[in-house]
């Protein structure tokens, strides 16, 4: 199935072989390579989706490459500024505890019959649960040893972020993903800021 990201689309579900939405006529192959598979979540500013990256140059193993697409739905200048800041921060940070973003992973997309762009960012898909989900599914508190291990991992991630003169500013359990390997990943850099004299 392919999902149309047009916020006004009345029926966004399409066959996975379609190039255009059967309901609104918007393109389904974004930036010539990303096919939206399903919605992952949403908030006040935008939505996130799981996408399949069909770029043949990126897949040497012939395995499908799944990523996350973040779409800004409101073009208010302040929201666009925050979105572009997130793109800037993530493209400069390289750490296993921070989602990978390729240099060409930021683009604008125009839905059918609209002159207002949707701002899009594609990043690594982190397989796992956020810490809120993990604790809820676990059903009990973690041990002191695990808490210390997590804290040390977070400190190393924050050290990398601060080394590049940024602050995350929204650290909470729902913004910390736990991979199946035990590696923590800090997500949602939408409110990150560069360190200034103030």
Q: CB count, 10 Å around CB of 137?
A: 8
CA 68/CA 38 separation, integer angstroms: 10
pLDDT in tens, 36-86: 999 998 776 789 999 999 875 655 667 889 999 999 988 888 888 888 888
**CATH fold for domain 2-124:** Phosphorylase Kinase; domain 1 (3.30.200)
| 170 belongs to the catalytic site | yes
Choose, from 31, 53, 104, 170, the residue flagged as catalytic: 170
The whole-number pLDDT of residue 59 equals: 52
**Tokens representing 152?**
């040390």
The per-residue pLDDT of the chain, averaged, comes to 89
CA 173/CA 168 separation, integer angstroms: 13
The full set of domain ranges for the chain reads 2-124, 129-194
Strand partners, 120: 71, 107
Largest CA distance in the chain: 56
Helix, strand, or coil (residue 33): coil
Task: Report the top-level CATH class of 129-194.
Answer: mainly alpha
Q: What percent of the chain has pLDDT over 70?
A: 93
pLDDT in tens, 17-40: 999 999 999 999 999 999 999 999
Q: Mark out the alpha helices in the chain (DSSP H runs).
A: 77-92, 131-138, 144-163
CA 69/CA 122 separation, integer angstroms: 4
Task: Write down the pTM of the prediction.
Answer: 0.83
């Amino acid at each position: 199935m392919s999902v149309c990201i047009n916020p006004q689309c009345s029926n966004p579900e399409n066959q996975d072989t379609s190039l255009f939405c059967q309901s609104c006529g918007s393109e389904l192959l974004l930036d010539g390579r990303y096919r939206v598979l399903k919605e992952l979540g949403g908030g006040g500013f935008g939505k996130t989706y799981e996408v399949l990256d069909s770029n043949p140059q990126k897949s040497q193993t012939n395995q499908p490459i799944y990523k996350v697409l973040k779409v800004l739905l409101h073009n208010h200048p302040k929201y666009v500024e925050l979105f572009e800041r997130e793109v800037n921060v993530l493209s400069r940070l390289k750490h296993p505890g921070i989602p990978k973003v390729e240099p060409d992973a930021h683009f604008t997309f125009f839905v059918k019959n609209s002159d207002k762009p949707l701002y899009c960012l594609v990043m690594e898909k982190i397989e796992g649960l956020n810490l809120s989900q993990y604790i809820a599914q676990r059903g009990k508190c973690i041990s002191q040893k695990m808490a210390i291990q997590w804290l040390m991992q977070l400190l190393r991630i924050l050290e990398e972020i601060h080394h590049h003169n940024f602050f995350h500013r929204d650290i909470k359990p729902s913004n910390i993903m736990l991979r199946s390997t035990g590696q923590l990943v800090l997500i949602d850099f939408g409110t990150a800021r560069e360190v200034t004299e103030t």
